[in-house]
Amino acid sequence: MTPYDSSAAPTPAARQPLVDGFGRTVTYLRVSVTDRCDLRCVYCMAEHMTFLPKAEVLTLEELDRVSSAFIGLGVRKLRLTGGEPLVRKGFMSLVESLSRHLRSGALDELTLTTNGTQLARFAGDLARHGVRRINVSLDTLKPALFRTLTRGGDVAAVIAGIDAAQAAGIAVKINAVALRDDNAAEIPALIQWAHGRGLDMTLIETMPLGEVEADRTDQFLSLTEVRRALASYWTLTDLPLNTGGPARYVRVEETGGRLGFITPLSHNFCEACNRVRLTCTGTLHTCLGREDASDLRAVLRAGADEARLVEAIRLAVDAKPQGHDFQITRDAAPATRRHMSTTGG
Ligand code: SAM
Ligand code: SF4
């Protein structure tokens, strides 16, 4: 893939930062590069998913072009996600192409969220293209439970992937979804395992996104509850890290590692939100928990020039909602019909 030609000088409009209607500056873009995945996590996907026809998914060139437009507008951090980003054909050429923004200094960080199954193969290339940190999702170390939760996955492949990433010099953060029935009792062991390997760890509350077979109300585990339990035997020291997102961090003094809590349902984090999300079909969502959507693919495929693309992005960001309205109650419909695999986690 040849890098998208961004040699044309940015227009004056393109030089102004992206500020929404509530004065928040958008500096963080998450891009889902595919809705496909080699796993079927029970809280994320239905067992039998219908994936999108190829024509609906942005090409690698289109993904590069939109991402680069955002970077031109002041986005400093770009996270590639999915579905599973490493199963997208040609994914590494997109990473290679986007890495030019790291070299130019326009971008501070190019990163990805992955399930880790393909990492052993790709970690070296990621490191070579300037990826310094990644998030790997891992909810359990138990092979049988991992197989059940992911509907068929092999936890050994993920651990081999984490090994390869660390060997390549990439910092790994483990993301685990807290599930009342499945991994609640294992959470302390998972934290000890991660911290013992020098990995940060973040716990995530289940979010009501997309219809899946499992009843999320039964699996929902409040991280306030988890934190209280951990604090009964560990010393948790608040850290002033602020990512502009829903994560709050502590240091576990006994393990020496960092632990994050992503609690979109327990706490309101919207006032500091600095991020927007692009789906693999080119729809821009400015809020994870709302149905707001702007179709950038239509703009791209109508042959828009740079100024028109920038205008479409600005219009979308200007309308970013003030906050979300997630709730998990017994009969509540999902807050949005989108699956996390479409929006990108
Ligand atoms: N396939 C990659 C992975 O699993 O890391 C990237 C995409 S995945 C959708 C991103 C993150 O979203 C994962 O950490 C996953 O556990 C999380 N996730 C998926 N569905 C979720 C849900 N309903 N609630 C909370 N987190 C969810
Ligand atoms: Fe795939 Fe990630 Fe969703 Fe699991 S959470 S099904 S790995 S996209």
DSSP per residue, 142-196: -HHHHHHHHTS--HHHHHHHHHHHHHTT-EEEEEEE-BTTTTGGGHHHHHHHHHH
Residue 161 confidence (pLDDT): 98
Cβ–Cβ < 8 Å for 153, 193: no
Give 78 or 5, the one with higher predicted confidence: 78
Q: In the block, which residue shows the tokens 């996390």?
A: 340
At residue 343 the predicted structure's pLDDT band, cuts being 50, 70 and 90, is low
Ligand 2 atom closest to 339 (CA): 3
Computed over every residue of the chain, the mean pLDDT equals 88
| Ligand 1, pocket-test mutation among 45, 340, 341, 343, most atoms within 8 A of CB | 340
Go through the domains of the chain in sequence order and give each one's CATH number: 16-343 (3.20.20.70)
pTM: predicted TM-score of the whole model, two decimal places? 0.91
| Ligand 2, pocket-test mutation among 84, 149, 154, most atoms within 8 A of CB | 84
pLDDT at 87 over 50: yes
The mean pLDDT value for 312-333 works out to 71
| Closest ligand to the CA of 32 | 1
Give tens-digit pLDDT for 114-150: 999 999 999 999 999 999 999 999 999 999 999 999 9
Pocket of ligand 1 (CB under 6 A): 37, 43-44, 81-82, 84, 113-115, 137, 175, 177, 204, 206-207, 209, 340-341, 345
pLDDT at 244 over 80: no
Residue 344 confidence (pLDDT): 54
pLDDT at 32 over 90: yes
Residue nearest to atom 4 of ligand 1 (CA): 115
Distance (Å, whole) CA 163 – CA 166 = 5
| Closest ligand to the CA of 220 | 1
